[in-house]
Amino acid sequence: MGILDFLSGQFIDVIHWVDDTRDTMVWRFEREGHEIKYGAKLTVREGQSAVFVHEGQLADVFTPGLYMLETNNMPIMTSLQHWDHGFRSPFKSEIYFVNTTRFNGLKWGTKNPIICRDPEFGPVRLRAFGTYSVRVADAAKFLTEIVGTDGEFTSDEISFQIRNIIVQEFSRLIAGSGIPVLDMAANTADLGKMLAEGISATIAEYGLTLPELYIENITLPDAVEKAMDKRTSMGVIGNLDAYTKFQAAEALGAEGSAAGQAMGTGFGAGLGMSMGAQMSGAQAGPWGARPAAASQPAASAPPPPPPPPVEHVWHIAENGQTSGPFSKARLGRMVTEGGLTRETYVWTQGQDGWQRAEDVTELAQLFTVMPPPPPGA
């Protein structure tokens, strides 16, 4: 073996990266003096890209595969570094491995409430949170715009900026959507898609894409939620007067049971005689002996206020499909928009089967502003 063959064998190197973490997005291949040997083997695995930086200038981007770092398969590097020397000397470059797989389970949320105008409740403050996934789509742009010379770049270093972009776009989207608060839970999937589309152009400038974005929940302030819980409880109770009488009857029944048990004893017998004497005095005529306090009528408690009307929510059946629930206010807007007609079938809890909207007394008034079709039409 000649000296040149020996030295050429010593120059052969193997360059690869096996990621054993879950958050590393970019890792720089560390080499003594940044010297890469001519003819080195570069292994780029699936879910990776390798970016060559030579003397501060981005040179090549390698996709998954096995490469021999030679002149014939590195045309860009050839223009930067002349390899026409017989000795095939090593060249100084930096190799950055970029993880192109998805980084899942990243969280986002609104730090401060978002003020928007609800068509039913008026001005409301909303908070939202969810998860998203991010992936490097353009390794060269991501390295140039975000990573720079960082030897180990993790997802935590970019997630804060992405969260700010998501929250800003969500604030704009939710303020202009016009979706009532009570209907937002049924539209989180569509809102998530619209939100991802709205920020795709901004994220693309970083060389990133968001394959998935989810809105897990949209919440109101605690005071508003407590008020809604009370309103729901009143709706479950129904007739407040009947509920109050029922509670009073249960209390009297419990007291009567305790009194009956006491009368079974000797002390209970004396107590029963005393109660009998009081009852006889109460039943005496106008000339009978009656305590002065008994002659005065007892003050009656004021009647309880009438319960608030229970607001129903409605479901709609069209073409074999159901949708809802919708509030009465929402149905009113649907009548104006043409989404609800007199012939549309609706149903609410407690209603006996599906009925046409014009046959439901509570909904018939929604169509008073629109006359029915003329006879024979």
Q: Is 286 part of a structural domain of the chain?
A: no
29 and 62 part of one domain: yes
65 and 120 part of one domain: no
Q: Is 64 part of a structural domain of the chain?
A: yes
Averaged confidence pLDDT in the chain? 76
Predicted local confidence at residue 239, as pLDDT: 64
Q: Is 342 part of a structural domain of the chain?
A: yes
Last residue of a domain, one of 73, 98, 123: 98
pLDDT, tens digit (0-9, with 9 covering 90-100), for 272-302: 555 555 555 545 444 444 544 444 555 567 7
Helix (H) / strand (E) element for 54: namely: strand 48-54
Structural domain of 17? 3-98
CB-CB contact of 137 with 208 (8 Å)? yes
Q: Where are the alpha helices (DSSP H) in the chain?
A: 3-11, 75-80, 139-142, 156-177, 188-204, 222-237, 240-263, 266-283, 328-337, 361-364
Q: Is 86 part of a structural domain of the chain?
A: yes
Q: Is 296 part of a structural domain of the chain?
A: no
107 and 186 part of one domain: yes
Last residue of a domain, one of 43, 64, 98: 98
Share of the chain above pLDDT 90, in %: 20
140 and 196 part of one domain: yes
Side-chain-facing half-sphere of 354: CA atoms under 13 Å = 11
Predicted local confidence at residue 107, as pLDDT: 93
Q: Which two tokens mark 192?
A: 């998530």
7 and 91 part of one domain: yes
- Please spell the DSSP secondary structure of 126-165, one letter per residue: EEEEEEEEEEES-HHHHIIIIITT-SEEETHHHHHHHHHH
Q: Is 288 part of a structural domain of the chain?
A: no
Kindly indicate the confidence band of residue 100, based on its pLDDT and cuts at 50, 70 and 90. Answer: very high
Coil/strand/helix, residue 249: helix
pLDDT, tens digit (0-9, with 9 covering 90-100), for 236-280: 666 667 767 777 777 877 666 655 555 445 444 454 555 555 555
Q: Would the pLDDT of 371 be above 50?
A: yes
107 and 221 part of one domain: yes
Tell me the helices (H) and strands (E) count for the chain, helix number first. Answer: 10, 18
47 and 85 part of one domain: yes
Sign of CA dihedral 55, 56, 57, 60: positive
pLDDT, tens digit (0-9, with 9 covering 90-100), for 347-370: 888 788 888 888 887 777 787 655
Total structural domains within the chain: 3
Last residue of a domain, one of 79, 98, 117: 98
126 and 53 part of one domain: no
21 and 91 part of one domain: yes
Helix (H) / strand (E) element for 65: namely: strand 65-68
Q: Is 153 part of a structural domain of the chain?
A: yes
**CATH number, domain with residue 358:** 3.30.1490
119 and 217 part of one domain: yes
76 and 120 part of one domain: no
Predicted TM-score (pTM) of this structure = 0.54
Q: Is 73 part of a structural domain of the chain?
A: yes
77 and 155 part of one domain: no
